[in-house]
Amino acid sequence: MSTVEVLKKKLEDVESPLPKKMKIESNCVLRFAKLTEHALAPVRGSPRAAGLDLKSAYDVKIPARGKAVVKTDLQVQVPEGSYGRVAPRSGLAVKNFIDVGAGVVDEDYRGNLGVVLFNHSDEDFEVKRGDRIAQFICERIFYPELEEVDKLDDTERGAGGFGSTGIKEIVAKNGNGTAAMETEEVKDKVEESKVDGKTDESKEVAKDEKPKNGDTVPEETNGTTAAATA
C-alpha cells in the first residue's frame, strides 16, 4: 500500500461517522423515498443512536389534551426480517408533555409515514416543519406460524395477570425457627393491626389517668358507657 493510499485510508477513518468496531450487515439498509418536496430525510443524532430522528413535513398544531397526526411525507422500506417502531423523543416528553401513539411500521408498508402525537399539557403545542417529532427504530421480528392446541403447557406463574409478580416475598422465621413466607400485602395488614393495637392501649391508659377539672372520662359499666365527672 502506497503512502497516498495509507493517508487516504486514515482520512476515511477520521471522517467516517461510525466507530471503527461497528459492523453493519450488507443487507441492513433502510431505504426511504420523499413523497413531496416538503419531506426531510431522517437523521441519526449520534453514531450509536438506536433511532433515526423523524422530522415533520408541515406546521401542525396539537391541541391541549388532544392529538394529531403529523406527516413526514416519507416512504420507508425496512430491512428484511425487521419492522419499524416509531418511538417518542425524551425531550418532547419531559419539556412539553408530548407523547407518541402506537407506531408499528410493517415490512411491507409503503404509505406515508405519519406520527400520532398526544399533547398531555393544558396548552396547545406548535409543531414546525423540520422539527424532530419522533424516533424510527428498526427491530428484528419473527413471523411464527399459528397452531391451535387443546391445552397449553402449565407454568409456575399460571394465569397470574396484572400485578401478580409485583408483590415481593419476605422471608420470616417462626417461633420454632422454621422459615415462613409472607407477602408485603400481608405485612401491611400486620402493621395496620399493630397500629390499631397501640390505639387501644392508649385508650386503656386514658381510662387510668385522673381527669382534670372540667374533663369527663368514659366508664364502662355492664357493657355500656357512662360519663363520670371529676
Rounded Cα–Cα distance for residues 109 and 85 (Å): 12
Enter the pTM of the model.
0.60
* Rounded average pLDDT over 100-106: 91
Domain boundaries, the chain: 19-140, 168-202
| pLDDT (0 to 100) of residue 159 | 84
pLDDT digits (tens, 9 = 90+) for 140-178: 999 999 999 999 999 988 887 777 776 555 455 555 555
- Give the model's pLDDT for residue 93: 86
Give the strand pairing for 31-34 and 74-77. antiparallel
Q: What does the pLDDT average to over 59-79?
A: 97
pLDDT score at 160: 79
226 band by pLDDT with thresholds 50, 70 and 90: very low
pLDDT at 28 over 70: yes
pLDDT score recorded for residue 229: 43
Read off the pLDDT band of 228 (50, 70, 90): very low
- Is pLDDT at 10 greater than 90 in this prediction? no
Q: What is the mean pLDDT of residues 38-54?
A: 96
Question: Does the pLDDT at position 188 exceed 50?
Answer: yes
The total of other beta-carbon atoms located within 10 Å of residue 79's CB is 16
> Which residue, 125, 113, 114, 115, is CA-closest to 66?
125
85 pLDDT band, cuts 50/70/90, is very high
pLDDT band at 225 (very low <50, low <70, confident <90, very high): very low
Mean pLDDT of 207-216: 54
Which of the pair, 122 or 219, is modelled with greater confidence? Answer: 122
DSSP lists the bridge partners of residue 224 as: 221
CA distances from 63 to 67, 99, 103, 113, 127 (A): 6, 13, 20, 21, 11
pLDDT of residue 227: 46
Spatial contact of 73 and 138, defined as CB atoms under 8 Å apart: no
Mean pLDDT of the region 15-37: 72
**Mean pLDDT score across all residues of the chain:** 78
pLDDT at residue 65, rounded to an integer: 97
H or E element: which one contains 11? helix 3-15
The CATH homologous superfamily to which domain 19-140 belongs is Deoxyuridine triphosphatase (dUTPase) (2.70.40.10)
